[in-house]
Every structure is written in C-alpha cells, then in structure tokens.
Copies of this chain bind each other. A is one copy, B any other.
Amino acid sequence: MKNIFPVLRASPLFTGIDGGDFDRMMACLGAYARQCGKGETVCFEGDTVTDIGLLTNGRLHLVKDDIWGNRSIVTEITPPEMFAESVVCSGIGRIPVSVVAREDCEILFIDYRKMFTACSTACVFHSKLIRNMIGVLARKNVLMSAKIEHITKRTIKEKLLSYMMEQARKNSSAAFDIPFNRQELADYLSVERSALSAELSKLKADGIIAYRKNHFELHNYG
C-alpha cells in the first residue's frame, strides 16, 4: 500500500489540516483502508452504512439495478472523491446505490460519529474537519440544485439557455468556456447529443448565441 496522504491532502475534507497530524487523526477517526479487486461490489444497495468512503486509488461506479436486472451507472467516483457521505451524515443509513470497483481500488473508511467525539488527545482538527464536511455537503447541494433547475425545463432549448445563463453568471460575462464536450453536455442535461447539436445550431442561426467548440457567447445578455 502506497502513501495515501497526498491524496487525502487533495480532498476538500482535509483542506487546512496540517499534514503532520494525519497519522494521529486517522487513528482518532477510526479510519481503516480496504482493498477491493476489480469487479468486486463494495456494498450493495440497501446495505446499512455507517462509514464515509473516501477513494484513494482506483475507480468506482455507483450503480442502480432495476427489477429486471438492468444496471444503470449513477456516477463514477475517482480519487479523492467520497461516497456515501450524504447517506451517513443524514442518518438515513441505507445506501440507495450499489458501489462497484471498476479497477483495483483502495478505499479509506471513516467513522462519521468519531468526527464529533472529542478525543482524549484533544485533537485540534475535529472542528476543522466538521466545517469542511459542511462545505462538501453544501457545495454538492448547490451543484445539484443547479442541475435540477436545468433539467426540469421542458425543451432542449430551455435547458440549454438555463445552463448557459448559469455559466455566464458564474463567469460574470456573456462569454464563457464550458467544461463539457457535446456528449457530456447532453448527458448532463439528460438529452440526446444529436438533438442538442441541432438545437445549438438553431440558436446560432437565430442569433441568440455564438459558439466555437467549447467557447460560447450569449447575445443580449445584460
């Protein structure tokens, strides 16, 4: 097992926490690493989970199976992303997805309750950690709100404009670059790629937007 601390330092959960504390902190948090072979199921939908998972190596898929056995991928997790944190922190406990290793993985499990228990060694990082966790949950919250805002719109045109207006606002400019290619944007907005392309062309033809590759401009944007 290689040194996972560089990965942890990259996690928003541990920002602002001194690297020298990691060893003691891990012990204090009841953290333990687990290896998972490719194809292995880390946990099954409906399982009761009490630990937050932090992927330090490999690649995970969160998947959902319907009654007929069809499997759909909800998300892909790459280091240093976490999973199950919402379920654990909410106290719901039963995880709504299965977690499957797509490659050989190494996962750090952290006991959520121990984040709050003031420890005998008077670890200073507890409050910082909790604050970080709030930030993680809240940011995810904001991202999901925005996504819902977009995909709730009825037509592709409306979804696109909703998305682009958000980008423009974030960038404080009518011109902006987007972090997706067409296929990814289509997946994000939950529409067909070809239909998306067609709608983009139409918006351009109507003079509402201009674009080239991933650079977009909204016209008449105040």
Are the C-beta atoms of B145 and A148 separated by less than 8 Å? no
Secondary structure class of chain A's binding surface, majority of residues: helix
Number of identical monomers bound together in the oligomeric complex: 2
Please give the distance in Å from A129's CB to the nearest CB on chain B. 11
Known contacts A90-B135, A134-B134, A169-B46; is-contact A67 B149 (Cβ 8 Å): no
Q: In the complex, which of the residues A66, A96, A138, A166 has the most CB atoms of chain B within 10 Å of its own CB atom?
A: A138
Known contacts A134-B133, A134-B137, A138-B137; is-contact A149 B86 (Cβ 8 Å): no
Q: In the complex, which of the residues A90, A149, A161 has the most CB atoms of chain B within 10 Å of its own CB atom?
A: A90
Interface size on A, residues (CB 8 A): 45
Please give the distance in Å from A221's CB to the nearest CB on chain B. 6
67-83 of chain A: CB within 8 A of chain B: 67, 74
